[in-house]
Amino acid sequence: MKKIVLAVLLLGAFAAKAQEVKSDTIKTISIDSLKESIDDHSMKIEGYGERLSAIESDIAKLTKIKISGYAQVQYDMYDIWGAAGHGLVVANSNPPTVITNSFYIRRARVKFTYEALDGVKFVLCPDFAFDKVQLKDAYIVLNDRWLQTFSLTMGQFNRLNYEVEYSSSSREVLERTRMIQTLYPSERELGAKFEANFETKYQLPLKLQLAAFNGNFALGTTANQVRDIDNTKDIMARALYSVKLPSSGLGIDFGAHGYFGKTEILPGTTLTGFTNEDNVAFTPKVGDQLDRSWMGGEIQIYYDILGGAALKGEYISGTISGTTNAIQTNSNFNYNRIRDFNGFYTTFIKNIGTSHQFAVRYDVWDPNTKLSGNEVKTVGDLKYSTWSFAWQYFFDDNVKIVAGYTLPTNEKSTNVGVAGGEYNNRDKTDNVFSLRLQAKF
Amino acid sequence: MKTTKFKIASILLVVMTIGFSFTTLNKITVKGSDTMVILSQKWAEVYMQKNPGAIVQVTGGGSGVGIAALINGSTDIANSSRPMKASEVEKLKARYNTLGVEIPCAKDGLSVYLNKANGVSELTVKQIGLIFAGKITNWKEVGGVDAGIRLYGRESSSGTFVFFKDNVVKTDYSPSCQTLPGTAAIVNAVKKDKFAIGYGGAAYAEGVKDCKVKKDDKTPGVYPTAETIKNKTYPITRYLYMYLKSKPTGETKAFVDWILSPEGQKLIVSVGYFPVK
């Protein structure tokens, strides 16, 4: 009996123990709270996900904006002899103050590029000087999405020429040639450009460019450059082709371009003192259009020998015209005249190791091909040949140091006795040494 | 006197040119395509074992990043899963006066990943393009169930992004395409999402299924396999490239030559790609 009672008690105890399902109940409650907590966190994570996708979308918009730019600061030493003595004359100083060296900020530019869609690009590039901000580039590019071959550019952008389009931040020698500075002052123009590039779609390395410009950019007073000053447009065309021989490390780009424009005689122009391309005096009428057109050829050869080397050259020949009317004068061709001209340059560049580069350029600008030597009577008709040397050291990805020396040599004429005899049958002393520091981002 | 000085200067210049040009270090830096990171690391590892004096440092970042590094001089070799763009060649010309040296070093097929539970298993190249362009948005339009298609793709700095865009999508990607950093992330996303589709290297398709790709409506669907990628019957194949600024010299040349040798090419298969030779 006792055994039975003991068994019943034990069973009861087990039963009682077994009823401690409370712990199961507690477990159920824990799982519920855990589930609640997970749900809560899931909702929070979803919330973060939504916020993240909103941030992602904002960042995606920002990635469409690209900001680049560069600054060039330099120290110049002028080996120049003028009427006042050795060096550059300080403007409005009396008696003339001459300086033989100076620090100088050559460029401070920022470029904003916004690619809203695959085929649309907007570019804005202001140039900062210590006393002003100037607009250098402002244009919109529309690319055709279907053939990926054609594009239309409209606004203010570079004229169609190799040396013009080659950024001064990449250029090996310090300045552009005298020829390009005279023909394409300030490099830019206001107009529209149609371009066909057959490389992307058809693997044909041919590029064709056709552009219409106002034709008066960087000519005359700034206010008159905002819009055209006559009703005719200047036309430019350029064709480029590339040959690549990868097995021999050789690449050759060559092309040609033409400029077809006019200089219109505007009311207010002094009509006396004009000479034509044969150096014969004539009197134009208001509304007359003087010829301003030329053709040029270009070649760039790249060769991989002990590192890279390049030989670049360009030849341009044609007719240039200008007036001294302040509305349209070209500071490099400030004369009432029409002239047949030619010019060329050839540049040799050699990379030395990965951080150094040497460059030498010889360029010639003859603004009057029909006169030479003692036949030349004015400074503007003197032929110039210039040697330019430069050594570049690439400090890192963004910074380079350039040392350059420029030696311009002008044609001698006994008939050119202007500006205190600087040009009187002699080569004007006008060499410049520059040490430039460039930062680009 | 002037002539003597000029001669001395010229001789000095020539000596410096040749001297600097042959200056090489034993350390080689390789940067670029994420697709090629594993392959490149494998090459580096084996090469360093065989050449104890050599140091090969490999990093990813994407083909665009690698080529940018090559242009700005911070890498010796740029890995790229797409050919160099004309604009990038122009930058090389401006900085180094060379066209760059292109070395196709492996072949790859781009897989289109689908979730294993997805009823669709075959698509034409055109359909895939329309899907990633956002023109086809529901699986029922390509023979699947009535459910929205979720797109996963690479970041714009990736060569895979560019190659797939140029050769398959042929227009802008749909704005709804979610960009992920790396092919492994895409595979993972597709694995978890029944209605997802992604793309990436054929070597990465683990836990997802490869979509059979048809060149057009009339041709049969083809899986990306060693055979079909090699014989180009699989429509989305590409070369993987190494780019250099100029002809390699010294240790870099030895490394490149070794990669192109039978020994280097043999390693390609072990990481899921295919030799060029």
* pLDDT tens-digit series, residues B223-262: 988 888 888 889 998 899 999 999 998 899 999 999 999 9
Contact list in B for residue A304 (CB cut-off 8 A) is: 98-99, 101, 246-247
Give me the residues of B, 235-274, that contact A with CB < 8 A. Answer: 245-247
User: Which among A179, A164, A229, A222 has a CA at the least distance from the CA of A365?
Assistant: A179
Is the CB of A275 inside 8 Å of chain B's CB atoms?
Answer: no
CB–CB of B99 and A251 under 8 A?
yes
**Number of Cβ within a 10 Å radius of residue A233:** 16
User: Which among A172, A102, A163 has a CA at the least distance from the CA of A391?
Assistant: A172
- What confidence category does residue A27 fall into, taking pLDDT thresholds of 50, 70 and 90? low
pLDDT of residue B264: 92
The two three-digit tokens of residue B40, written as one number? 């490149």
- What confidence category does residue A417 fall into, taking pLDDT thresholds of 50, 70 and 90? low
**Number of Cβ within a 10 Å radius of residue B217:** 8
CA separation for the pair B56, B27 (Å, rounded): 6
pLDDT of residue A282: 95
Best residue in A167, A243, A253, A304 for a mutation probing chain B (most B CBs within 10 Å): A304
* pLDDT tens-digit series, residues B108-138: 888 999 999 999 999 999 999 999 999 999 9
Q: Which residues contact A152 (CB under 8 A, 6 or more apart)?
A: A141, A142, A192, A193, A194, A195
Contact list in B for residue A351 (CB cut-off 8 A) is: 96-98
- What confidence category does residue A46 fall into, taking pLDDT thresholds of 50, 70 and 90? confident
Specify the amino acid at residue A82.
G
Q: What is the dihedral of CA A128, A134, A140, A141, to 10 degrees?
A: -60
Best residue in A63, A250, A397 for a mutation probing chain B (most B CBs within 10 Å): A397
The two three-digit tokens of residue B244, written as one number? 């250099």
CB–CB of B97 and A302 under 8 A?
yes
- What confidence category does residue A5 fall into, taking pLDDT thresholds of 50, 70 and 90? low
Which has the minimum average pLDDT: A255-259, B31-35, B270-274? B270-274
CA separation for the pair A212, A204 (Å, rounded): 25
Q: Quick check: B21 pLDDT over 60?
A: no
DSSP one-letter code for A326: T
Question: Can you tell me the mean pLDDT for A9-17?
Answer: 56
CB–CB of A358 and B94 under 8 A?
no
CA separation for the pair B133, A129 (Å, rounded): 46
Q: Quick check: B68 pLDDT over 60?
A: yes
Residues B47, B33 contacting (CB under 8 angstroms): no
Contact list in B for residue A200 (CB cut-off 8 A) is: 86
pLDDT of residue A15: 53
Please provide the distance, in angstroms rounded to a whole number, between the alpha carbons at the two ends of chain A.
Answer: 101
Please tell me whether the peptide bond between B181 and the residue prior to it is cis, using omega within 30 degrees of 0: no
pLDDT of residue A188: 93
* pLDDT tens-digit series, residues B88-105: 999 999 999 999 999 999
**Number of Cβ within a 10 Å radius of residue B247:** 16
Chain A residue with minimum CA distance to B87: A200
CA separation for the pair B244, B100 (Å, rounded): 6
Q: Quick check: A168 pLDDT over 70?
A: yes
* pLDDT tens-digit series, residues B184-206: 889 999 999 999 999 988 767 78
Q: Quick check: B15 pLDDT over 70?
A: no
CB–CB of B247 and A394 under 8 A?
no
CA separation for the pair B204, B226 (Å, rounded): 14
Is the CB of B94 inside 8 Å of chain A's CB atoms?
Answer: yes
Contact list in A for residue B86 (CB cut-off 8 A) is: 199-200
* pLDDT tens-digit series, residues A422-441: 777 778 888 999 999 999 99
Is the CB of A351 inside 8 Å of chain B's CB atoms?
Answer: yes
pLDDT of residue A363: 97
Q: Quick check: B1 pLDDT over 50?
A: no
Contact list in A for residue B16 (CB cut-off 8 A) is: 352, 356
DSSP chain B: -HHHHHHHHHHHHHHHHHHHHT---SEEEEEE-STTHHHHHHHHHHHHHH-TT-EEEEEEE-HHHHHHHHHTTS-SEEEESSPPPHHHHHHHHHHHSS--EEEEEEEEEEEEEE-TT-S--EEEHHHHHHHHHTS--BGGGGTS-S-B-EEEEE-TT-HHHHHHIIIII-SPPPTTPEEESSHHHHHHHHHH-TTEEEEEEGGG--SSEEPEEESSTTSPPB---HHHHHTT-SSSEEEEEEEESSS--HHHHHHHHHHHSHHHHHHHHHTT-B---
**Helix pair angle (B262-270, B250-260), 10° resolution:** 60
Please provide the distance, in angstroms rounded to a whole number, between the alpha carbons at the two ends of chain B.
Answer: 59
* pLDDT tens-digit series, residues A406-415: 999 999 888 8
* pLDDT tens-digit series, residues A135-158: 999 999 999 878 889 999 999 999
Chain B residue with minimum CA distance to A53: B178
pTM over 0.90? The answer is: no
CA separation for the pair A356, A308 (Å, rounded): 11
Question: What mean pLDDT, rounded, does chain A reach?
Answer: 88
User: Which among B69, B78, B71, B76 has a CA at the least distance from the CA of B95?
Assistant: B71
Q: Which residues contact A387 (CB under 8 A, 6 or more apart)?
A: A360, A361, A362, A406, A407, A409
- Number of helices (H) and strands (E) in chain A: give both, helices first: 5, 21
**Share of residues in chain A with pLDDT > 90 (%):** 60
Question: Can you tell me the mean pLDDT for A164-181?
Answer: 95
Q: Quick check: A24 pLDDT over 60?
A: no
For B21, the closest of A170, A200, A307 (CB atoms) is: A307
pLDDT of residue A9: 60
Residues B205, B211 contacting (CB under 8 angstroms): no
CB–CB of A249 and B22 under 8 A?
no
Q: Which residues contact A410 (CB under 8 A, 6 or more apart)?
A: A382, A383, A384, A423, A427, A428
Is the CB of A62 inside 8 Å of chain B's CB atoms?
Answer: no
CB–CB of B156 and A63 under 8 A?
yes
- What confidence category does residue A295 fall into, taking pLDDT thresholds of 50, 70 and 90? very high
For residue A45, give Cα distances in angstroms to A48, A51, A52, A260, B152: 5, 10, 10, 65, 20
Chain B residue with minimum CA distance to A64: B156
Which has the minimum average pLDDT: A44-53, A258-267, A285-294, B48-57? A44-53
Which has the minimum average pLDDT: A24-38, A69-83, A107-121, A275-289? A24-38
Question: Can you tell me the mean pLDDT for B29-45?
Answer: 92
3-state DSSP assignment of residue A36: helix
Residues B158, B64 contacting (CB under 8 angstroms): yes
Q: Quick check: B26 pLDDT over 90?
A: no
Segment of A200-204, A306-310, B271-275 carrying the highest mean pLDDT: A306-310
CB–CB of A117 and B171 under 8 A?
no
Best residue in B6, B13, B98 for a mutation probing chain A (most A CBs within 10 Å): B98
pLDDT of residue A12: 58
CA separation for the pair B68, B70 (Å, rounded): 5
Q: Quick check: A300 pLDDT over 90?
A: yes
Question: What mean pLDDT, rounded, does chain B reach?
Answer: 88
pLDDT of residue B242: 96
CB–CB of B96 and A358 under 8 A?
no
pLDDT of residue A388: 97
Query: What is the β-pairing status of strands A150-158 and A250-264?
Result: unpaired
DSSP one-letter code for A33: H
pLDDT of residue B211: 93
Angle at A272 between CA A266 and CA A273, to 5 degrees: 115
Q: Which residues contact A177 (CB under 8 A, 6 or more apart)?
A: A163, A343, A345, A361, A363, A365, A386
Best residue in B97, B167, B173 for a mutation probing chain A (most A CBs within 10 Å): B97
**Share of residues in chain B with pLDDT > 70 (%):** 93
Q: What is the dihedral of CA B246, B248, B250, B252, to 10 degrees?
A: 110
For residue A158, give Cα distances in angstroms to A65, A210, B82: 21, 13, 31
ipTM value of the model? 0.79
